[in-house]
Amino acid sequence: MKLLKIRKITVGPLMTDCYILSNSDECVIVDAGGNPEKIIEEIEKFNLKPKFIIATHGHFDHFLAAREIQRKYDIPFYINEKDKEMLQSKDYSAEHFIKGLKAEIPDSIITFSDGFVFKVGSHQLKIMETPGHTPGSSCIVGDGFILTGDTLFRMSIGRMDFGGNEEDMIRSLKKLSQMKESTRIYPGHGDPSDIRYELLNNFYFQNVANKNSLY
């Protein structure tokens, strides 16, 4: 079985990590957070055929480029059912946070929930719901790796004052702390990591793993 290739492109006004996951010529796009031309250029450079776009949650910096990419490739957009309304909420809109910035709402929206499975070539990607940053925040679990969106970062965690909840975050981090320590982490912002490194170096992650508390 061919390996799943993970390509990272940092895009948009909030430096979102967009990932292109490919197997043979098929690919999926995760967190198309801006600069659609950069994302499309990467796809075209490797002659890939996008199947769909996935957003790990409903904040604008994780879908800012989705509609333009959809126009190019005519593909659906997936998001957790609990975050669908956030896409159109004025309270979470791009312009609410960055004056003059508008985010087109994606078309052909399909919702998923915990345990949903995507296929990319011969590989499977499974949804793990990890609320806390938002009600519908979701991680994408592959073979030996996980895309954590804004739930878990290298040496940090996602903010909870932008539609989130601390109790949910604790439960979600607890789930992640119980994964294999070798699991590679690809977050929504910043550098990659792995579960072992975070257990040793991430203050919040350590606390949740050891005493079910962030502090």
Give the burial class of 167: count Cβ atoms within 10 A of its Cβ; 0-12 exposed, 13-18 middle, 19 or more buried. exposed
CA distances to 59, 105, 140 from 94, in Å:
8, 11, 24
- What is the per-residue burial (b if ≥16 Cβ within 10 Å, else e) of 62-92? bbbbbbbbbeeeebebbbbebbeebbeeeeb
**Low pLDDT (below 50) residues in the chain:** none
DSSP state of 14: T
DSSP 8-state class, residue 22: E
Residue 162 DSSP class: S
Task: Identify the bridge partners of residue 112 per DSSP, sorted by sequence position.
Answer: 80
The chain-wide mean pLDDT, for the chain, equals 97
Other CB atoms within 10 Å distance of the CB of residue 175: 14
Q: What is the pLDDT of residues 35-88, one digit of tens each?
A: 999 999 999 999 999 999 999 999 999 999 999 999 999 999 999 999 999 999
pLDDT reported for residue 64: 97
CATH architecture observed for domain 5-211: 4-Layer Sandwich (3.60)
pLDDT, residue 2, reads: 74
Beta strand extents in 123-181 (DSSP E only): 123-129, 138-141, 145-149, 152-153, 156-157
Q: What H or E segment, with its residue span, contains residue 80?
A: strand 77-80
Domain boundaries, the chain: 5-211
> Is the C-alpha dihedral spanning 161, 32, 125, 209 positive or negative?
negative
Which pTM was predicted?
Answer: 0.96
Question: What pLDDT does 1 receive?
Answer: 63
